[in-house]
Chains A and B, each alone.
Chain A
Amino acid sequence: MDAAEFRTRYRGVMARLNHAFGVADEAAFETLVGELYAERDLTMRTGIAKLSQSLANALMRFQLDSRVASLAEREIPDARLRLDHVLKMTEEAVHHTLDLIEQAAPLAEATTRSARVLADTLDDRSHNDIRRFLGEVQENAERVRANLTEVMLAQGFQDLTGQILHGVRTLIGEVQVVLDDLAQISGIPAATATGQGSSVASGPAVPGIATGAVVDQQDVDKLIAGLGI
């Protein structure tokens, strides 16, 4: 409190204390000292209230720190595994697509060739409908062949998305190092898992993370059959 506040607060009691002291009124003097103690008590209680508020804040912070531990120990490494899985899945899908393109392209080329050879053997004066049909076959097969090339080049997306994912993966790794340090410095115990109900949709199963996840359609069929469906 400032000087003015201090004077206002104690002026009355001081005057009365002085008076009781001057006239040697011991009883009045004792009562006034009691009042002063009560005043002091109130200040102390205010202090305790402030202290308990700080304690509550500290406890709240501790919960946040537990979240840090949970991130460092489980969620961040899981996020990296998820990204690795996405990288692997897209790479496999692209190779599979390229396999199919490599198989289909020669078929389209052979169809174009055969249609041309056959059309050449036909008499110009007859088989108009067949020649028209063979012309269409050539044209369509050529278009299919050209589209296969474009589909193949479009698979280049995996290179681009893969580079971006690699970048995010590196970033996550750096965040994990920081979080590990934080958790270690504050000596926080490992967080207890926040239970997630099995009915909550969590997206595709990621190997190394998903527990109790089915593996393939056969497993699904077996599981479904086992449930009597």
Chain B
Amino acid sequence: MGSSIRFMVVDDFSTMRRIIRNFLNDLGYTNIVEADDGKTALPALKAGEVDFLITDWNMPGMQGLELLRVVRGDPGMKKLPVLMVTAEAKREQIVEAAQAGVNGYVVKPFTAAILKDKIDKILSAQAAG
């Protein structure tokens, strides 16, 4: 398994960060950092310390969509895979995230199979691209 991939999990709920981290561990990914909003996530992202970003949308401070736009607007980060894992489930929100360049979108609550599927898809598309 691709255990060398460096993940970042951004969510304001510590329980959700822990759930996703544990799930990534189960999949064999052990290199994981966490942040509780977009602002606290950015330094490590800008420093190029992250290969895969999993972010919530609705957070105090900088929201997930804004973080995604900052990432896509920065030459150094724009190719970073971004998976949004969020309770925001309105059609127009999903469209908005897609237009902002998200690589995958998982609506909470999610199952193990769904999360694994989205992560695998993004990684294989990246390997092919």
A residues with a Cβ closer than 8 A to B are 91, 94-95, 98, 101-102, 105, 149-150, 152-160, 162-163
Please name the residue on chain B nearest to A93 by beta carbon. B15
- State the main secondary structure of chain B at its contact with A: helix
Q: Are the C-beta atoms of B87 and A152 separated by less than 8 Å?
A: no
Question: Quick check: is B36 within 8 A (CB to CB) of the other chain?
Answer: no
Q: Are the C-beta atoms of A153 and B19 separated by less than 8 Å?
A: yes
Q: Are the C-beta atoms of B13 and A158 separated by less than 8 Å?
A: yes
Question: Quick check: is B92 within 8 A (CB to CB) of the other chain?
Answer: no
- What 1/0 flags go to B30-60 for Cβ under 8 Å of A? 0000000000000000000000000000100
Tell me how far the C-beta of A110 lies from the nearest C-beta in chain B, rounded to whole angstroms. 15
* A160 touches which of B22, B87, B111 (Cβ 8 Å): B87
- Alpha-carbon distance A203/B70, docked complex (angstroms): 47
Instruction: Name 15 extra pairs, CB < 8 A, besides A149-B26, A153-B109.
Output: A94-B15, A95-B18, A98-B19, A98-B22, A149-B23, A152-B19, A152-B23, A153-B112, A154-B109, A156-B108, A157-B109, A158-B16, A159-B87, A159-B108, A163-B58
Supposing A159-B87, A160-B87, A160-B109 touch, asked if A153 and B23 sit within 8 A by C-beta, the answer is yes
Q: Tell me how many residues of B have a C-beta within 8 Å of chain A.
A: 18
Q: Are the C-beta atoms of A156 and B18 separated by less than 8 Å?
A: no
- Alpha-carbon distance A38/B114, docked complex (angstroms): 90
Q: Which residues of A contact B15 (CB under 8 A)?
A: 91, 94-95, 98, 155-156, 158-159
B residues with a Cβ closer than 8 A to A are 11, 13-16, 18-19, 22-23, 26, 58, 87, 108-112, 115
Please name the residue on chain B nearest to A158 by beta carbon. B15
Please name the residue on chain B nearest to A102 by beta carbon. B22
Please name the residue on chain A nearest to B17 by beta carbon. A159
Q: Are the C-beta atoms of A159 and B11 separated by less than 8 Å?
A: yes
Q: Which residues of A contact B16 (CB under 8 A)?
A: 156, 158-159
